[in-house]
Amino acid sequence: MTVTMKDIAKRANVVPMTVSLALRDRVGVSEEKREEIKRIARQMGYKPSFFAHGLQGQRTHSIGIMWSLWGGPPMEMVRDLSLRAMHRNYVSYVVDSLSDPAIISRTLDELSRRRVDAMVAQCIPGQIPDALKKFPAAVAVSEGPWKGGVDYINYDRRVGIREMARHFVNAGRRRPMVLFSHHANLSKAQAFLDEFRQLGVEPASDANVMLPDRQQDVTKDAIEHAVGRREWFPDAIFATTDRVAAAGMQWLKDKGKRIPRDVAIGGFNDDELCLFVTPQLASVQFNSKLLADEIDRLILTRLEDSTLPPRNVTVPMTFV
Percent of the chain with pLDDT over 70: 95
Q: Do 163 and 281 reside in the same domain of the chain?
A: yes
Nearest to 72 by CA among 272, 267, 268: 272
Q: Is residue 16 part of a domain?
A: yes
Q: Is residue 71 domain-shared with residue 139, that is, in the same domain?
A: yes
Supply the pLDDT for residue 179.
96
Alpha carbon distances (Å) from 70 to 62, 179, 215:
24, 19, 11
Q: Give the range of the structural domain holding residue 43, as residue numbers without chain letter.
A: 5-47
pLDDT (0 to 100) of residue 144? 85
Within 10 A of 261 (CB to CB), how many other CB atoms are there?
9
pLDDT for 245-254, tens place per residue?
A: 999 999 999 9
- 132 with 171, same domain: the answer is no
Domain membership flag for residue 56 = no
| Backbone phi and psi for residue 58, each to the nearest 5 degrees, phi listed first | -100, -175
* pLDDT tens digits for range 210-254: 998 877 788 999 999 999 889 999 999 999 999 999 999 999 999
Q: Are residues 77 and 166 in the same domain?
A: no
Task: Answer whether 112's CB lies under 8 Å from 131's CB.
Answer: yes
| 79 shares a domain with 68 | yes
One domain, residues 101 and 120: yes
Examine the domain organization and report whether 102 and 152 are in the same domain: yes
Q: Would you place residue 51 in the very low, low, confident or very high pLDDT band (cuts 50, 70, 90)? A: very low
Give residues with Cβ within 8 angstroms of 214, minimum separation 6.
181
CATH number at residue 247: 3.40.50.2300
Residue 55 lies in a domain: no
CA atoms lying within 13 Å on the CB side of residue 56: 11
Tell me, yes or no, whether 121 and 104 share the same domain. Answer: yes
53 domain residue, yes or no: no
Of 302, 312, 297, give the one whose Cα is nearest residue 152.
Answer: 312
Residue 219: inside a domain, yes or no? yes
Specify whether 66 is located in the same domain as 166: no
Q: What is the pLDDT of residues 16-33, one digit of tens each?
A: 889 888 887 777 889 899
Same structural domain, 162 and 281: yes
55-59, 116-120, 303-307: which is most confident: 116-120
pLDDT at residue 67 tops 90: yes
Number of domains making up the chain: 3
What does the mean pLDDT of the chain come to? 90
